[in-house]
Structure 1
Amino acid sequence: MWTKPWTFKEGFLIGGGLIFAGLMLELSVGPVMWDAFAWPANAIVLAGFFVMLTAMAYLRKKIYAFQWMTTYQAAIPAMVYAVALTIIMGLTRQQANGTWLNNMLSFWPFVLIYVYITVILGLTIHRRLRQILRGEWSMKRDVPFLLNHLGLFIALTTATLGNADIQRVKMICSVGEPEWRAMEQGGAIKEMDLAIELKKFIMETYDDGSPKRFASEIQILTKTGKNIETTIDVNMPYEVDGWKIYQYGYDTQMGAQSQISILELVSDPWLPFVYTGIYMMLAGAVCMFVIGGRKRV
């Protein structure tokens, strides 16, 4: 073991070592505090990450570990650990203020494994780009490869570092009264750049009286001068000035006669980059399907 070339054994040992290191960090410093990575800290970290990847790529001929990280022997064990942790996350109840397995997105072993995968992706992409620049180019091979790998890299980095910039607030809107204030998750009051006035609360019920549909006819006023009238249904948000407005609740005691509507407003400035990565992976999958189909023909 640890004799060149490294194999899957070393890959699983490195992954296990990262999980052990993560457990030690979890015990000593607690979960990952993503709030510390809010803008502009996340942009600085991302820039530093690119610098680190570039340095590792150019040192890979001198440091064997960096070269090995672009092989299947490194990638497959890392993916096995990532899949296992993701399955655990799906099987356990996740809570924003949970600990250990109940808050996997802030669980150090989970974070370290995904950072490790991102490093492997970055080094692999860099190696392929250098081959392309040397003229070793194949459209059938490289287009799907770059779309899939770059897409996954973009989705992972932006979803992770953008997490701290997500804002979720709740606004209680009353009929005929524009509301500029919203409540943050911690209970603090936040003055918004838009006001929402409830025009009418709508509820449709089944024969037994249970809600079938509830929605809000609202008017939105923004500091940028927009004046919008729309209807917000459950799971059918309206987006304006970077905020998605969701129907969240109402006065359950009043039911269909409710004079208030509770709306949730969500802002995620990094989401377009995450979608870009996902769309790139979808495009890569389509390319692989088309190319594979041509080969069979």
Structure 2
Amino acid sequence: MWKQPWGYKEGYVICGGLFLTGLSLQAAVGGFHLETLAYPINLLAAVVFFLLLLLLHFFRRKFAALRWLSSYQAAISSISSLALLTLVMGLVKQLPSYMHEGDAWPGFAQMLSNWAFAFLFVWFIAVLGMTVFLRLFSAQWKDIPFVLNHLGLLIALTGAVLGSADIQQLEMNTLVGRPQWMATNERGDVLELPLAIELHEFSIEEYPPKLMLIDNETGDMLPKGKPDHFLVEDSAAVGKLLDWDVAVITKLPMAAGVPTGDTLKYVEFHSVGATMALYIRVSHRKTGETHEGWVSCGNYMFPYKAMRLNEKVSLVMPEPEPKRFYSDVTVYTESGKTIREVIEVNKPVQVDGWKIYQLGYDESKGRWSDVSVFQLVRDPWLPVVYTGILMMIAGALALFVFQKRKEGVHDKLD
């Protein structure tokens, strides 16, 4: 071993040495904080690193070790070692960088802050970079697919890892009619943003109400383990729940509960705080037992109303499930932009490098919520990652085109 030319053994010994060095450093000082690599440190580090690789490339003819860096033995040993740690990263639950629990040795719960991962990643990028420089300066047309694929991979990986220090994921709570420019990060720190969001209206579209049977003693839905339900899609719906026939007599989507003696009835109430209420008739198919009355899911203003059928079973209406919820907002930016948009789940709005997602609302108020919760994400290195991915796609297409041309030349010769 260690006799030129080097092979796989030397490659895996180097990777093993880097891994053990990283684990030792992890045990001695703990993991490093990604925040220390935030802009402009990450950009400066990338520029210096690749300039150093470029300098080493020009000395590769003088040193066999530098020539070995662009060999497939170095590539396979480095990528397989890094892939093994990446597999561990996928199997171990990753904790946010601010949680000290993930910093405990060996630190695999915060892999991007782990010294062993950092050393192996830098080693792999060095091998990949030397390989790209070798083909890049050969200036042969046949190397175009190879250069595009490997340079794209180099750019995408570098951008993804270094850019992770600059990713911001913030949460903003907005009230109707009140512009908000403050948000909180994962630590709970309140930050002032270069943009403000004014909520004009929050809206929810709900699925039709459901009726279910519950056990009076345990509160479990029946049948236990696989509860049945009756979806009330119109005002004259008829259905079945176990041995009970259910008929909807009156459906009030906008209702208010009114006490009448020892009971509660519902009337139409077209205002804030209205709830869903159904007047139903329930009959037992075997005994003929019949019940009639109001059932409501209730809300923050009115209590829920169940129908007790017997000592064991009651009929209830669960809270309606949201089908779609969205916010009508205006976004103001420091650059002077004023943008009126509707933000909903899976349909974010992008403004000045920020992506604004609909995250939640005041669930205690349901459809009458005057609060909308947004997630704001900023990843300034994302264009770098996309550039690398597009280069890899271009490399795959170029490989296909070059292969077709080669096959065409062989066909002509034949």
User: Over residues 40-69 of structure 1, what are the superposed CA-to-partner deviations in whole Å (9 max), with x where a residue is unaligned?
Assistant: 212221221022212221222333221101
Q: Are 2:144 and 2:395, in contact at CA under 8 Å, matched by a contact in 1?
A: yes
User: Over residues 246-271 of structure 1, what are the superposed CA-to-partner deviations in whole Å (9 max), with x where a residue is unaligned?
Assistant: 11121121122211111111111111
Match for residue 73 of structure 1? 73
Question: Are residue 255 (structure 1) and residue 256 (structure 2) matched?
Answer: no
What is the CA distance between 1:282 and its match in structure 2?
1.1
Segment of structure 1 superposing worse, 161-170 or 276-285 = 161-170
Cα distance in 2, alignment partners of residues 202 and 292 from structure 1: 55
Match for residue 181 of structure 1? 182
- The one-letter amino acid paired with 2:187 is G
Question: Are residue 161 (structure 1) and residue 162 (structure 2) matched?
Answer: yes
Structure 1's consecutive aligned runs of 4 or more residues displaced over 6 angstroms after TM superposition are: none
Match for residue 129 of structure 1? 136
Q: SS of 2:403's equivalent?
A: helix
| Match among 97, 112, 115 for residue 108 of structure 1 | 115
Map 1:151-230 → 2, pairs under 5 A: 151-207=152-208, 208=210, 209-230=320-341
Cα distance in 2, alignment partners of residues 148 and 175 from structure 1: 49
Q: SS of 1:93's equivalent?
A: coil
What is the CA distance between 1:289 and its match in structure 2?
2.5
> Cα RMSD (Å) of the superposition?
1.7
Match for residue 35 of structure 2? 35
Match for residue 243 of structure 1? 354
- The one-letter amino acid paired with 1:163 is S
Structure 2: any 5+ residue segments left out of the alignment? 211-319, 409-414
What is the CA distance between 1:89 and its match in structure 2?
1.5
| Match among 368, 378, 382 for residue 267 of structure 1 | 378
Cα distance in 2, alignment partners of residues 58 and 192 from structure 1: 46
Map 1:76-87 → 2, pairs under 5 A: 76-87=76-87
- The one-letter amino acid paired with 1:228 is I
- The one-letter amino acid paired with 1:196 is I
Q: SS of 2:172's equivalent?
A: strand
Cα distance in 2, alignment partners of residues 128 and 4 from structure 1: 22
Cα distance in 2, alignment partners of residues 215 and 257 from structure 1: 13
Match for residue 17 of structure 2? 17
- The one-letter amino acid paired with 2:357 is Y
User: Over residues 195-237 of structure 1, what are the superposed CA-to-partner deviations in whole Å (9 max), with x where a residue is unaligned?
Assistant: 1011222223334422332222211112222221111122221
| Match among 383, 387, 399 for residue 288 of structure 1 | 399
Q: SS of 1:164's equivalent?
A: coil
Structure 1: any 5+ residue segments left out of the alignment? none
Match for residue 44 of structure 1? 44
Question: Are residue 8 (structure 1) and residue 119 (structure 2) matched?
Answer: no
Q: SS of 1:165's equivalent?
A: coil
What is the CA distance between 1:244 and its match in structure 2?
0.8
What is the CA distance between 1:293 and its match in structure 2?
4.1
What is the CA distance between 1:153 and its match in structure 2?
1.1
User: Over residues 172-196 of structure 1, what are the superposed CA-to-partner deviations in whole Å (9 max), with x where a residue is unaligned?
Assistant: 1111111111112222222222110
Cα distance in 2, alignment partners of residues 116 and 202 from structure 1: 52
Question: Are residue 117 (structure 1) and residue 117 (structure 2) matched?
Answer: no
Q: Are 2:196 and 2:331, in contact at CA under 8 Å, matched by a contact in 1?
A: yes
Cα distance in 2, alignment partners of residues 223 and 73 from structure 1: 52
Q: SS of 2:138's equivalent?
A: helix
Cα distance in 1, alignment partners of residues 169 and 11 from structure 2: 39
Question: Are residue 53 (structure 1) and residue 53 (structure 2) matched?
Answer: yes
Counting matched residue pairs gives 291
What is the CA distance between 1:296 and its match in structure 2?
4.7
Q: SS of 1:105's equivalent?
A: helix
What is the CA distance between 1:2 and its match in structure 2?
1.2
Q: SS of 1:160's equivalent?
A: helix
State the identity as a percent: 46
Q: SS of 1:220's equivalent?
A: strand
Segment of structure 1 superposing worse, 43-52 or 116-125 = 43-52
Match for residue 267 of structure 2? none
Match for residue 142 of structure 1? 143
What is the CA distance between 1:128 and its match in structure 2?
1.5
Which one has a larger percent helix, Structure 1 or Structure 2?
Answer: 1
Cα distance in 1, alignment partners of residues 51 and 127 from structure 2: 15
Cα distance in 2, alignment partners of residues 108 and 204 from structure 1: 49
Q: TM-score, normalised by structure 2?
A: 0.67
- The one-letter amino acid paired with 2:54 is T
Larger Rg: 2
Q: SS of 1:47's equivalent?
A: helix
- The one-letter amino acid paired with 2:130 is L
Segment of structure 1 superposing worse, 96-105 or 7-16 = 96-105
Which one has a larger percent strand, Structure 1 or Structure 2?
Answer: 2
